[in-house]
């Protein structure tokens, strides 16, 4: 830590020079990934070890989510990435929607949102992606957003809760007063377009977000598919909610880590998964 006393006529220039060089070195060590999939290129900025891990697992962590977006998101579609983190699936979806489509990327975690902006710019997607640095909920207003970690690329931070996705409570690193809105409210005000596809991965607040889009799910322009990350704790409530709103479970898939656990004898019913819902005929 550099300490500068007010009574000094000049700052400790050697210390400032040293720390300036260290910061430049750190900047130079920032890793830029380019991932090539046929004719499509994805670029990601990684400034922390956690982000580096996310980038290395670009295609591997959630192969089912990748396949769903890659196969179903078409040019001109509107996609909601709710819980965008640093923007990996935001970028994948935006490549699918093309310039005639839109991706609304919702990420209330401020450090993650900053990197999300970096990755949108790196990929030249400013005209396609609408970044949203606020939370989604079943009510509009301001609520405490509790940081599980303030690190870029982290997860498990929660709106109005200190319970992680697995169900255990945690002590927040800090709490921020965060604006939240419902999907129905955003659409009614004309702040966003009705989506063709929705991805919800917010580590615990999924049911509240679904309740905030009740009108959308019942409307003639309802989404063609909705993917929700589901834990054992919320499974029954989410399945019941979606069925009540005439959305049926059409597929479910596990992360690569969960697949390994299942291969080693774990009970699939004990593990969280991503569920894909489609409107009933």
Q: Which residue numbers in the chain have pLDDT < 50?
A: 1-8
Question: Domains in the chain, ordered, with CATH?
Answer: 61-279 (3.40.50.150)
pLDDT at 244: 96
How much helix, strand and coil, in percent to the nearest 5, is found in the chain?
35, 25, 40
Return the SS3 of 240: helix
pTM above 0.85, yes or no: yes
Q: Scanning the structure block, which residue is given the tokens 């949203």?
A: 132
pLDDT at 161: 77
pLDDT at 60: 76
Instruction: Give the model confidence (pLDDT) of 17-56 as tens digits.
Output: 666 666 566 655 567 778 787 888 888 887 777 777 777 6
Percent of the chain with pLDDT over 70: 86
Instruction: Give the model confidence (pLDDT) of 229-260 as tens digits.
Output: 998 888 999 999 999 999 999 999 998 888 89
């Amino acid at each position: 830590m550099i300490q500068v006393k007010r009574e000094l006529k000049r700052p400790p220039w050697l210390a400032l020079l040293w720390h300036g060089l260290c910061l430049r070195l750190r900047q130079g060590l920032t890793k830029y990934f380019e991932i090539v999939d046929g004719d499509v290129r994805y670029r990601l900025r990684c400034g922390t070890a956690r982000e580096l891990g996310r980038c290395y697992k670009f295609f591997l962590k959630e192969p089912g989510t990748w396949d769903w977006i890659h196969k179903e998101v078409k040019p001109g579609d509107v996609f909601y990435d709710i819980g965008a983190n640093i923007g990996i699936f935001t970028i994948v979806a935006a490549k699918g929607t093309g310039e005639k489509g839109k991706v609304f990327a919702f990420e209330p975690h401020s450090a993650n949102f900053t990197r999300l902006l970096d990755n949108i710019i790196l990929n030249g997607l400013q005209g396609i992606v609408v970044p949203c640095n606020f939370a989604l909920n079943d009510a509009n207003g301001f609520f405490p957003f509790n940081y599980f970690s303030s690190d870029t690329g982290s997860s498990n931070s929660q709106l109005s809760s200190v319970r992680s996705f697995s169900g255990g409570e945690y002590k927040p690193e800090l709490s921020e007063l965060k604006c939240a809105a419902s999907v129905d409210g955003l659409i009614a005000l004309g702040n966003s377009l009705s989506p063709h596809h929705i991805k919800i991965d917010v580590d615990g607040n999924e049911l509240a977000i679904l309740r905030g889009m009740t009108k959308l799910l019942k409307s003639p322009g309802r989404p063609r598919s909705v993917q929700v990350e589901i834990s054992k704790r919320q499974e029954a409530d989410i399945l019941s909610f979606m069925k009540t709103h005439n959305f049926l479970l059409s597929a479910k898939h596990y992360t690569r880590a969960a697949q390994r656990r299942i291969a080693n004898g774990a009970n699939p019913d004990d593990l969280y998964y991503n569920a894909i819902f489609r409107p009933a005929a």
